[in-house]
């Protein structure tokens, strides 16, 4: 395995981590705001807040890790993506800023403040949509080289059905992942009412997720034939992913084993995500940049890999502790009073 492959595998794994924890986080914020709007906050807020509170900052680190890592391993991405993504990513940063800080303002400063809740709920749902633009751009066709500088063609980008399908998928997937997870979490907490409501949301959002995901593969046939063909070579991964999807929905429908349903969902997304990643190989940006011509020098790559391994040894036990104390701690999930924040 070459250093290029090691680098991109680490990065895509952290991106996958961000997609999952970020989805849960953003979806939860949205459901929280929605329940305030529809007067169902009595049912949902408690469960959502208990999960979100100790982990919000960790979610953000996954994203930082990804973009610092990609510029570290592939410095040329700074040149290509840095130049073309100024506007889209600045908008993402705006949303991220509002989402992160207003979440903290509401949770630690002004519990139950409706304005703050709406602000971070709305920002959170727009955030994946804006971040997903990066994936669209990576498919190529929107960036031209003029005088050696990459230029983003906004008109093309906004007129493309691919862009909008990916936006819809990102939102649907966020709500779906989040609802499935929270159904499980609410069930663990023994909260019947919340479980039922969240289960309903999960079932509602399952269909748009799978439809847009399949639609995007089909759209790629016209947009980027090369990528489409390498996607087809990995058909078995998508087939397996689809079966896992069926499994999740079936369990939810039958009100059985929500924990397993969530793990099947992780499997479904992991298969689809990695299949997407593998088929993207070797391009970071079609057709301008591959992982080979954008790679850093060997000395830096080796240093980064060593730093990653050492960092990881520190990280895994800490993450495990966090999960054990909050996520998989029945006492905490059910809500003892002593565990209120500072």
Please tell me the chain's helix, strand, coil percentages from 3-state DSSP, rounded to the nearest 5: 80, 5, 15
Characterize the bridge pairing of strands 149-152 and 283-285: unpaired
- Does the footprint of other proteins cover residue 263 (CB under 8 A)? no
Supply the Cα-derived Rg of the chain in whole angstroms: 20
- Does the footprint of other proteins cover residue 104 (CB under 8 A)? yes
> Which of 9, 36, 40, 105 forms a contact with other proteins (CB under 8 A)?
105
Long-range contacts of 147-153 (CB under 8 A, 24+ apart): 149/83, 150/79, 150/80, 150/83, 150/84, 150/288, 151/84, 152/84, 152/85, 152/87
Which parts of 117-176 interact with other proteins (CB under 8 A)? 147-149
Which parts of 281-320 interact with other proteins (CB under 8 A)? 296-297, 299-300, 303-304, 307-308, 311, 314-315, 318-319
In the complex with other proteins, which residue's Cβ is closer, 1 or 314?
A: 314
> How does DSSP classify residue 144?
E
Q: Omega before 72 cis (within 30°)? A: no
Q: Give the shortest CB-59-to-other proteins separation in angstroms.
A: 9
Which parts of 46-75 interact with other proteins (CB under 8 A)? 53-58, 60-61, 63-65, 67-69, 71-73, 75
In the complex with other proteins, which residue's Cβ is closer, 159 or 302?
A: 302
- Does the footprint of other proteins cover residue 29 (CB under 8 A)? no
Nearest Cα to Cα of residue 113 among 122, 126, 103, 98: 103
Compute how many residues bind other proteins; rule: CB under 8 A.
73
Q: Give the shortest CB-315-to-other proteins separation in angstroms.
A: 6
In the complex with other proteins, which residue's Cβ is closer, 257 or 290?
A: 290
């Amino acid at each position: 395995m070459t250093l290029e492959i090691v680098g991109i595998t680490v990065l895509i794994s952290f991106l996958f981590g961000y997609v999952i924890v970020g989805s849960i986080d953003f979806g939860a914020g949205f459901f929280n705001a929605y329940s305030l709007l529809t007067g169902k906050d009595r049912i949902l807020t408690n469960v959502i807040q208990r999960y979100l509170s100790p982990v919000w900052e960790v979610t953000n680190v996954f994203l930082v890790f990804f973009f610092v890592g990609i510029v570290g391993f592939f410095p040329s991405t700074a040149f290509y993506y840095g130049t073309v993504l100024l506007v889209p990513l600045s908008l993402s940063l705006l949303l991220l800023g509002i989402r992160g800080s207003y979440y903290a303002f509401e949770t630690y400063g002004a519990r139950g403040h409706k304005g703050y809740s709406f602000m971070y709920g709305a920002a959170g749902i727009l955030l994946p949509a804006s971040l997903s633009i990066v994936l669209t751009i990576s498919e190529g066709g929107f960036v031209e080289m003029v005088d050696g500088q990459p230029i983003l063609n906004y008109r093309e980008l906004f007129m493309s059905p691919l862009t909008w399908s990916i936006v819809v998928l990102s939102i649907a997937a966020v709500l779906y992942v989040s609802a499935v997870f929270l159904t499980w979490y609410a069930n663990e907490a023994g909260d019947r009412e919340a479980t039922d409501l969240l289960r309903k949301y999960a079932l509602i959002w399952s269909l748009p997720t799978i439809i847009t995901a399949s639609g995007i593969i089909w759209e790629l046939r016209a947009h980027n034939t090369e990528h489409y063909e390498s996607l087809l070579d990995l058909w078995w991964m998508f087939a397996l992913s689809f079966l896992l999807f069926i499994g999740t929905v079936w369990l939810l429908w039958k009100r059985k084993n929500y924990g397993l349903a969530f793990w099947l969902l992780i499997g479904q997304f992991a298969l689809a995500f990695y299949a997407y990643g593998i088929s993207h190989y070797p391009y970071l940006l079609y057709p301008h940049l591959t992982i080979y011509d954008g790679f850093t020098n060997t000395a830096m790559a080796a240093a980064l890999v060593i730093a990653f391994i050492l960092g990881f040894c520190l990280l895994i036990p800490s993450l495990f502790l966090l999960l054990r104390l909050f996520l998989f701690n029945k006492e905490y999930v059910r809500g003892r009073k002593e565990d209120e924040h500072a």
